[in-house]
Amino acid sequence: MIDIPEDEVTAPWWDATRQRRLTVQRCARCELAQLPPRVLCTGCGSTASRLETVDGRGVVDSYTVIHRAPDPATEVPYTVARVRLIEGPILLTALVGIPEPRCDLPVTLAWRVLPDGRALPVFTTEE
Amino acid sequence: MSVAIVGAAECDLGHTGLSTQQLLAQAVKRALDDAGLRVCDVDGIATTGHGRFPATQLADQLGLCPSWTDSTAAGGAVFEMYVARAAQAIEAGQCSVAVIAFASNQRSARSRSIGGVYDAATPEAQFEQPYQPLWPLSYYAMTAQRYLHTYRLDRADLARVAVAAREHALRNPAAFRHAAGPLTVDDVLAAPMISSPLGALDCCLVTDGGGAIVLTSLDRARHLAKTPVRVLGYGESVTHAAMATPDDLLSTGAAASGARAFARAAVRPEEIDVIQLYDSFTVSVPLGLEQLGFCPPGTGVHWAGVPVNTTGGGLSYCHPGQLGVLLLVEAVRQLRGECGARQVPGAATALVHGTGGIASSHATVILGVR
């Protein structure tokens, strides 16, 4: 596993993952939700924002099943996807436990825990 | 516009065993020879993809002190962007003879990584790399998946793009797959899956190669050996760096880039005789044709209009990491009627469209000889 960096803009987002909370950055001025967290709102340029916890429901915009990993130690195949949260932002993520993924499939949040206590949001189908 | 391309050349292609510096110098010298100009005539240089200060280093290698340089880095589309900037610099009097060059020895040097290179300072290192997408392949794979889903097509429809590219390569002696024989849809479908729905033969080659073009004023061009190829128009659009940013994978920067180029050239899509369109992956061709306005969304896989990628393209001719300059070289040759068995008869207007990164940057150039 690679060592995932963070910085002063993204650290609060990563800290929330330690409590298994997925957050989106909500602009205090125009209310746009965006990911990943940025210095500026891409809607209005405001620097005032808050992190808002979401329940992690979305749909698969698209996906790809990868059969040759960049890191030879990674087990293949695995599925990378773009998931569109109902709040609007799109996440690059992984799909887990979905034998036959498809575009527009509704999915829900799961977590892949990292050795340092942070966690990566991944998505699976609702039970 | 009053600027023309007066020289064009490839360096050695394929598996050369040569250094990038050697290939770059070859490309520049051959393009200048083609133009009937000398190295000392050059006062403008645009290049990227090698070293920290690419244009500065190439100027040093050539023994030049240029009055205009550009090393904008935007992936494989940047050479079409350089045409716009070089034309502007020549029209503004900042330089008089500009060379646009690129070369790579990535096959010989085995320097290509399937996962790409993530800079730890970028947001993508935090929010993208941990999931191990292939870069840029997985982005185009997700685009292809969405494309097939939206238009109810299947992998065979994309495979035909690779088959068509091979047919062109069989007519181009410089193509990496020139002697490989025809390709079938079944061959493409049977190739190892890499990042679904794209298999190995949906992906461009990894080769050495590169090229150069030479631009000068139309006035000066009229006194040179070859037919001047006029820069009629250009346009560009840069849309994203991260895989999660675009709202719609099927709406690319090619639409705005192409529209800007057509408007500037006062040319319509149906007036184009030959198209050179960056085919990093099979899906790039139909989506590119649609976004550029050549055909409606979802119909690019059935394209039966003017020839596209007459060299065999990135899929079967050459892909040195950034194909953009070689798209320009082929367009120039087509417009001069130099292409032998693959010549498009009477080609007078060409569209060149480059794409860089993960469909991140788009740039379109329209060229003509009428």
In this structure, what CATH number is given to the domain that contains residue B99?
3.40.47.10
B180 in A contact zone (CB under 8 Å): no
3-state per-residue secondary structure call for chain B: CCEEEEEEEECCCECCCCCHHHHHHHHHHHHHHHHCCCHHHCCEEEECCCCCCHHHHHHHHHCCCCCEEECCCCHHHHHHHHHHHHHHHHHCCCCCEEEEEEEECHHHHCCCCCCCCCCCCCHHHHHCHHHCCCCCHHHHHHHHHHHHHHHCCCHHHHHHHHHHHHHHHCCCCCCCCCCCCCCCHHHHHHCCEEECCEEHHHECCCCEEEEEEEEEEHHHHCCCCCCCEEEEEEEEEECCCCCCCCCCCCCCCHHHHHHHHHHHHCCCHHHCCEEEECCCECCHHHHHHHHCCCCCCCCHHHCCCCCECCCCHHHHCCCCCCCHHHHHHHHHHHHHCCCHHHCCCCCCEEEEEEEECCCCEEEEEEEECC
Residue B295 lies in a domain: yes
Structural domain boundaries, residue B79? 3-109+206-368
Does residue A55 have a pLDDT over 80?
A: yes
Does residue B95 have a pLDDT over 90?
A: yes
Contact yes or no for B142 and A64 at CB 8 A: yes
Please state which CATH number belongs to domain A11-124.
2.40.50
pLDDT averaged over chain B? Answer: 97
Q: Which of A1, A35, A66 sits opposite B195 (nearest CB)?
A: A66
Contact yes or no for A67 and B196 at CB 8 A: yes
ipTM here: 0.97
Which pLDDT band holds residue B132 (cuts at 50, 70, 90)?
Answer: very high
- Residue A3 is predicted with a pLDDT of 85
Please give the tally of structural domains in chain B. Answer: 1
Contact yes or no for B115 and A120 at CB 8 A: no
Q: For the residues B311-333, what does the mean pLDDT come to?
A: 97
Residue B346 lies in a domain: yes
B202 in A contact zone (CB under 8 Å): no
Mutate to test the interface with A, among B245, B247, B250, B281 (most CBs of A within 10 A): B245
Residue B298 lies in a domain: yes
A-B CB pairs within 8 A amount to 109
- Residue B144 is predicted with a pLDDT of 98
Residue B149 lies in a domain: no
Contact yes or no for B142 and A81 at CB 8 A: yes
Residue B181 lies in a domain: no
Does residue B1 have a pLDDT over 90?
A: no
Q: Model confidence over B166-208: pLDDT tens digits? A: 999 999 999 999 999 999 999 999 999 999 999 999 999 999 9
Residue B261 lies in a domain: yes
Q: Model confidence over B25-35: pLDDT tens digits? A: 999 999 999 99
Does residue A2 have a pLDDT over 70?
A: no
Chain A, residues 93-112, CB within 8 A of chain B, namely 93-94, 102-104
Residues of B in contact with A25 (CB under 8 A): none
Contact yes or no for B142 and A82 at CB 8 A: yes
Residue B294 lies in a domain: yes
Residue B157 lies in a domain: no
| Sign of CA pseudo-dihedral A117, A122, A123, A124 | negative
Which pLDDT band holds residue A127 (cuts at 50, 70, 90)?
Answer: low
B134 in A contact zone (CB under 8 Å): yes
Crossing angle for the helix pair B324-336 and B78-91, nearest 10 degrees? Answer: 60
- Residue B370 is predicted with a pLDDT of 80
- Residue B18 is predicted with a pLDDT of 97
Contacts of A41 (CB under 8 A, 6+ apart): A27, A29, A30, A32, A34, A47, A49
Does residue A1 have a pLDDT over 60?
A: no
Stated pTM of the model: 0.97
Q: Model confidence over B286-311: pLDDT tens digits? A: 999 999 999 999 999 999 999 999 99
User: Where exactly are the structural domains of chain A?
Assistant: 11-124
